[in-house]
């Protein structure tokens, strides 16, 4: 292992058999793919991590880096908790930053349906032992003076939360996978084939036969798998974000009524919304922010801050992936063919836990029944819904 490759050590309780002797191709050098490659390599598996570009050149490099355990459903809460703990364990001066920061989600006065939904979420979280509490506007203002609370009906506060740099996390895990023996094949577009599992280099036709292929290529997963004869019920969609100069130390905030989020950032703050509920082409989407998006969001963010006037630095667009039931597709799609996609904007924050779980399944462990990709035929018609949306109870 070279000096610039981090040596990471985390328990491997999820794994059920040794990976020695197995060959696995991981297609997609984003956060989930890099994590899975690392977890497989440290179990002795012969892993090759492929990406058509560079590591984190897709959605992971454009993600918000917001990480929280604010889920009411038991499985989601378990995965989020495991991911947060792993972010903490792997982060450091020589790897990537993870900054502890409370996460607040709120509903405004007049939005009774979402206010009731937040109260119910907090109650269910507390029943499961999740660190969360309900707060009114006065309590919220006392705890977080930087936030404007005059129009807030109710807020939830999650303590197990923080933020990081998604590109640095992904690069760190890919380097650690390399240090554990994996091969990094960047700038290498491939096609996926089965019977037997294999990848075909699109540049020269070279075939690499393996024991298993994991497709974790984000928005491009759908096309890769369709070309292999396996349609999946997933749609890529475009989202937008910006960085603005502002003095904000905490918290991270999701305004459910206004449908936007913000978090501290080394250059000030990062904010986002701009979800487009139409399917996007991952090879042809506009990576620049829509004209007017940034100015409009800066104004809305300014209204949520107390005594802070953000000034736009930069803005961009990225891709998320949706499924009919808003749960991801994670697991075995066919013999020797695995997939991990459809995360509704929560893929990066779940990556440490999802990467570990899909690696475990490839090595013979149990899959995640609720996320089983074969629960859909692949030709379902459905509408795209933003991942952070809180449905009104009324």
pTM over 0.85: yes
Residue-range domain boundaries for the chain: 23-62+166-234+324-375, 100-159+236-322
Tell which CATH architecture fits domain 100-159+236-322.
2-Layer Sandwich (3.30)
Q: 42-92, pLDDT tens digit by residue?
A: 999 999 999 999 999 999 999 999 999 999 899 999 999 999 999 999 999
pLDDT of residue 355: 98
What pLDDT score does 387 carry? 73
Q: What integer pLDDT is reported at residue 8 of this predicted model?
A: 64
CATH 3.40.50.720 assigned to 23-62+166-234+324-375:
no
Low-confidence ranges of the chain (pLDDT < 70): 1-18, 388, 390-394
- pLDDT of 125 reads 94
Q: What is the pLDDT of residue 307?
A: 87
Q: What is the pLDDT of residue 16?
A: 46
Per-residue pLDDT, 21: 86
CA-atom Rg of the chain in angstroms:
21
Q: Give the pLDDT confidence score for residue 392 in this predicted structure.
A: 61
């Amino acid at each position: 292992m070279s000096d610039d490759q981090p040596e990471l050590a985390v328990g491997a309780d999820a794994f059920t058999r040794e990976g020695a002797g197995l060959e696995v191709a991981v297609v997609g050098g984003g956060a989930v793919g890099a994590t899975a490659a690392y977890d497989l390599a440290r179990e002795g598996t012969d892993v090759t991590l492929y990406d058509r570009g560079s590591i984190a050149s897709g959605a992971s490099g454009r993600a918000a880096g917001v990480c929280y355990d604010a889920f009411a459903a038991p499985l989601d809460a378990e995965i989020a908790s495991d991911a947060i703990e792993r972010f903490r364990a792997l982060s450091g001066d020589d790897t990537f930053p993870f900054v502890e920061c409370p996460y607040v989600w709120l509903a405004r006065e007049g939005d009774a349906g979402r206010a009731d939904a937040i109260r119910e979420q907090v109650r269910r979280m507390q029943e499961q032992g999740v660190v969360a509490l309900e707060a009114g506007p006065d309590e919220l203002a006392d705890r977080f003076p930087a936030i404007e609370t005059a129009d807030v009906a109710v807020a939830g506060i999650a303590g197990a939360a923080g933020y990081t740099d998604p590109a640095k996390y992904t690069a760190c895990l890919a380097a650690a996978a390399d240090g554990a023996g994996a091969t990094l094949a960047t700038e290498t577009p491939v096609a996926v084939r089965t019977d037997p599992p294999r990848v075909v280099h699109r540049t020269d036709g070279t075939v690499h036969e393996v024991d298993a292929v994991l497709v974790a290529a984000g928005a491009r997963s759908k096309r890769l798998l369709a070309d292999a004869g396996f349609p999946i019920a997933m749609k890529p969609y475009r989202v937008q974000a910006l960085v603005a100069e502002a003095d904000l130390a905490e918290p991270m905030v999701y305004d459910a009524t206004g449908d936007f989020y913000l978090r501290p950032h080394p250059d000030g703050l990062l904010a986002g919304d701009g979800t487009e509920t139409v399917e996007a082409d991952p090879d042809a989407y506009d990576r620049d922010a829509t004209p007017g998006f940034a100015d409009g969001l800066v104004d809305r963010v300014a209204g949520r801050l107390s005594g802070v006037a953000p000034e736009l630095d930069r803005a961009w667009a990225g891709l998320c992936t949706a499924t009919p039931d808003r749960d991801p597709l994670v697991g075995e799609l066919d013999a020797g063919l695995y997939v991990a996609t459809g995360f509704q904007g929560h893929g990066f924050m779940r990556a440490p836990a999802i990467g570990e779980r899909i690696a475990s399944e490839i090595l013979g462990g149990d899959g995640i029944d609720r996320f089983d990709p074969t629960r859909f035929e692949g030709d379902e018609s459905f509408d795209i819904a933003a991942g952070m949306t809180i449905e009104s109870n009324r």
